[in-house]
């Protein structure tokens, strides 16, 4: 009876292990996981986004293609979007976010940002890097500013 219980437990653990897909396995996407990134602007039509400046952000690439982005700007909302693999260790992403008006008493979000980019994953360094472009639009859909740049990220490691 004890032997049957042990065999059953081993079979159950094997089944769980076989159904677990790691981000770095051939079945998983290496990009899945949590990342800390540095974004640098190389082009900007906005005076408050000078070329050469940048910001830090946290990104989560979720299984199934969802993307969450949080940056260090108090007036930007969390970005929500999607990603897809376009080739071996190559990915495309897009996300939207709101920008609050720091001059408005209600701190409403009159602008909507849309970011698109392409990145390449470096397995040896467990990092990704790439380029992005973005447009800020008012609620009527008019473009009020555009910018582009580079992004580099490192995986947030577990302790």
pLDDT tens track, the chain, 159 positions: 444 333 333 333 333 233 333 444 444 568 999 999 999 999 999 888 899 999 999 999 999 999 999 988 766 788 899 999 999 999 999 999 888 766 555 556 678 889 999 999 999 999 999 999 999 998 889 999 999 999 999 999 887
Task: Check: CB of residue 41 under 8 Å from CB of residue 149.
Answer: yes
Q: How high is the pLDDT of residue 117? A: 97
C-beta atoms surrounding 47 within 10 Å: 7
Q: How far is CA 53 from the centre of its chain?
A: 20
Main-chain dihedrals φ then ψ at residue 13, nearest 5 degrees: -65, -40
Q: How high is the pLDDT of residue 134? A: 95
The fold adopted by the segment(s) 27-155 is Lipocalin (2.40.128)
Q: How high is the pLDDT of residue 29? A: 60
**Cα(60)–Cα(45) distance, integer angstroms:** 28
Q: How high is the pLDDT of residue 34? A: 95
**Cα(131)–Cα(112) distance, integer angstroms:** 20
Q: How far is CA 132 from the centre of its chain?
A: 12
Which residues does 145 contact at the CB level (< 8 Å), separation at least 6?
44, 45, 46, 49, 135, 136
Q: How high is the pLDDT of residue 108? A: 62
Q: Which residue has the tokens 């219980």?
A: 5
Q: Could you tell me which of 143, 141, 156, 153 has the C-alpha nearest to residue 40?
A: 153
Q: How high is the pLDDT of residue 2? A: 43
């Amino acid at each position: 009876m004890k032997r049957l219980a042990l065999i059953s437990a081993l079979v159950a653990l094997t089944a769980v292990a076989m159904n677990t897909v790691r981000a770095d396995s051939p079945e998983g996407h290496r990009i899945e996981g949590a990342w800390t990134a540095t974004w640098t602007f190389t082009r900007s039509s906005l005076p408050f986004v000078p070329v050469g400046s940048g910001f830090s952000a946290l990104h989560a690439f979720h299984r199934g293609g969802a993307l969450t982005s949080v940056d260090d700007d108090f007036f930007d909302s969390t970005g929500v979007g999607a990603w897809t693999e376009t080739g071996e260790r190559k990915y495309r992403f897009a996300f939207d976010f709101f920008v609050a008006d720091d001059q408005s008493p209600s701190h409403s979000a009159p602008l909507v940002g849309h970011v698109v980019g392409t990145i390449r994953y470096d397995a040896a360094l467990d990092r990704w890097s790439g380029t992005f472009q973005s447009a800020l639009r008012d609620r009527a859909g008019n473009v009020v500013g555009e910018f582009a740049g580079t992004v580099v990220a490192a995986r947030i490691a577990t302790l």
